[in-house]
Structure 1
Amino acid sequence: MRRAMTVVMACAMIAACSKAPDSHDNAAVSGDTGPDLGGRSAAGIAFSYAYSLVMPGGDIADVQETHAAACERLGHDRCRITGLHYTVAPSGRIDADLSMTVAASVARTFGRQGVLAAQKAGAVLGGVTIGGTEVATQAKADTQAATEATTERARVQADLRRRQTPEARAELRRRDTELAAQARTARADAATARDSIANTPVSFDYRSGRGVGLANRVREAGDAAAASTAATLAAVLWVLATLGPPLVLLLALVVVWRRWGQAAWRRIAGPRAPYTPPADPPIW
């Protein structure tokens, strides 16, 4: 009986060990896509999503193009690319980013799908920043201000149609112009607030690197050491390439002078007459 129980427990442990790598692999494939808002909408909130991705430098351009293509597939009405940059440092480090304006109804899903696509290409999620600003109240206040300015302007225009002194008419015209500007500004501010609710900024920041964890930090340190060594050798070669030809030319001139120049100079100058000091004057 004991032997049978021992066999059963051993089989259970083997089965558990065999399943563990599968779950680990699934987690590695799916990856961490960052915090999830749970699909809950917040009326009147203007959100923004920013994702930081770390990946091998050679994959950054492809992932950036994948995200840009995904935005284009949504169509201009739901996604617009607003900024893109790609920089390669002398050390070989690559930094890039992609900024888009996405319809609020699909912005969160678009961002998470973009992270998953990057993780399939070997990227690691370095960070997520989700910002939210309450703008509905301000939009309502701006709309109310525009309505009040329009109502007041109608009263001023009614006064202008009555007989008024020249001074009063000038003041009413000035007031009418001021109210028209106030109404335009309030309507523009309200439209901007409503647009910020309907359209969400989404950005991806790409950085070349090995990823997170101690092992990757050690690998990045090795990469940095190799890059530093390469930079030092390049600097030495640059100095040799810049100063080498002048030094070789100077050395050649010295050899020519010592080999032939001194003898030629002595022949040209000729032998010098011995120096004879002047005779002393006679003493009388």
Structure 2
Amino acid sequence: MAKLRVALLLGLTVAACGRKGDTGAPTPQISVAPAGVKSAAPSRSGPGQPPSAHHDGAAFIAYSYSLGFELPARRIDEVQRAHRTACEALGPSRCQLINASRSGGEGDAAEAHLDLRIVPDEVKSFEARLAATTGDAGGTMLTSSVTGEDITRELIDADAALKAKRTLRDRLQTLLEHREGRLSDLLAVEKALSETQQQLDTATAELSELQQRVSFSKLSIDYRSTQPLGSTARPLATAVAEAGQTISTSLALLLTVVVAVVPWLVPAGLLLWLAGKLRARRDARRKGSLIPPP
């Protein structure tokens, strides 16, 4: 019984250490990329472009790219579809579609959006293909930006927590296999094992998400329509169209006022007529009292 309780206490201590993390421990080696995929963004030349993500093999950077294109509204669907096809041609192991949306018509201010995930070493060539496709459709690139987030510390902590949870789970499983001690102790071990397994699943998912952010870069693409020729006259046409609506609204308001007031005009006129008659009689009597008798 004493042996069981000591082992259980030791296992729970390992779990607590795994949650806190050991900042003084050497940096573990973490594999964050699948086979054939680099875990760093490719080096890019030009202002505002990031350096290599690896610094002596210790840093892990999650990059996000954003592109903005302007092109004729009638070509937006075609270009967006071509960009999706280019991603699909790379295969799901190198490019993945996350989200696609489209709004507006051909004669209106049309917009579209794409969210992709792409392996870092494909970003530069893929951007060039997107720009070429858009240029062939009469469009231009308006914006291009990139941001990077260093998640090295998060990866190290997640990896250490995962190892600690696995160690604790293995020790608890060993205790259950021996089945020594009181029934209450065994039930406590089973409960601890269940909770540890849940924590292990959560830690595994967190580490997988961090690895995905490094292995795949996020690429957001926005499309918007160019203003058609003669668009300078559009405000005037809009004003003329709105003028008719304004006149109709004013007439409706005037009719409402007339309908509300007319029923009160008859009694109001009658009251005014009676008041006038009473005033005339009062004035006549006053004048009659002022005339001296003969």
| TM-score of the pair, normalised by structure 1 | 0.60
- Counterpart of 1:137 (choices 133, 136, 153) is 153
In terms of mean alpha carbon deviation, does 152-161 or 170-179 score higher? 152-161
Residue type matched to 1:88 in 2?
A: G
Alignment of 1:1-284 (within 5 A): 37=49, 40-42=52-54, 43-88=59-104, 92-160=108-176, 161-210=178-227, 222=232, 224-225=234-235, 228=238, 232=242
1:3 maps to what in 2?
none
Q: Shift of residue 175 of structure 1?
A: 0.9
1:3-31 CA deviation, whole Å, 9 max, x = no partner?
A: xxxxxxxxxxxxxxxxxxxxxxxxxxxxx
Residue type matched to 1:206 in 2?
A: Y
Q: Shift of residue 174 of structure 1?
A: 1.0
Runs of 4+ aligned structure 1 residues displaced above 3 Å come to 38-43, 229-233
1:228-271 CA deviation, whole Å, 9 max, x = no partner?
A: 268659x87xx9xxxxxxxxxxxxxxxxxxxxxxxxxxxxxxxx
Tell whether the 8 Å contact from 1:84 to 1:97 is kept in structure 2 after alignment.
yes
* 1:195/1:153 CA distance change after superposition, 3 Å: same
2:24 maps to what in 1?
none
Of all paired residues, the percent bearing the same amino acid is 22
Q: Shift of residue 154 of structure 1?
A: 2.3
Structural RMSD (CA):
3.1
For residue 93 of structure 2, give the secondary structure of its aligned residue in structure 1: coil
Structure 2 Cα separation of the partners of residues 228 and 90 of structure 1: 18
Q: Shift of residue 209 of structure 1?
A: 2.2
Structure 1 Cα separation of the partners of residues 240 and 215 of structure 2: 50
Q: Shift of residue 47 of structure 1?
A: 1.0
Tell whether the 8 Å contact from 1:136 to 1:193 is kept in structure 2 after alignment.
no
Structure 2 Cα separation of the partners of residues 46 and 184 of structure 1: 23
1:264 maps to what in 2?
none
1:178-237 CA deviation, whole Å, 9 max, x = no partner?
A: 111112211221111111111122121011124xxxxx9xx786164266268659x87x
Tell whether the 8 Å contact from 1:56 to 1:208 is kept in structure 2 after alignment.
yes
Structure 2 Cα separation of the partners of residues 66 and 90 of structure 1: 18
Q: Shift of residue 145 of structure 1?
A: 0.9
Gaps of 5+ in 1: 1-33, 211-215, 240-284
Structure 1 Cα separation of the partners of residues 48 and 132 of structure 2: 13
Gaps of 5+ in 2: 1-45, 249-294
Structure 2 Cα separation of the partners of residues 120 and 35 of structure 1: 26
Residue type matched to 2:232 in 1?
A: G
1:79-133 CA deviation, whole Å, 9 max, x = no partner?
A: 1222211111697110111221212221233124312432343323222232222
Tell whether the 8 Å contact from 2:53 to 2:60 is kept in structure 1 after alignment.
no
For residue 49 of structure 2, give the secondary structure of its aligned residue in structure 1: coil
Tell whether the 8 Å contact from 1:49 to 1:111 is kept in structure 2 after alignment.
no
| Number of residues of Structure 1 aligned to a counterpart in Structure 2 | 197
Residue type matched to 2:194 in 1?
A: T
Residue type matched to 2:120 in 1?
A: A
Structure 2 Cα separation of the partners of residues 220 and 67 of structure 1: 30
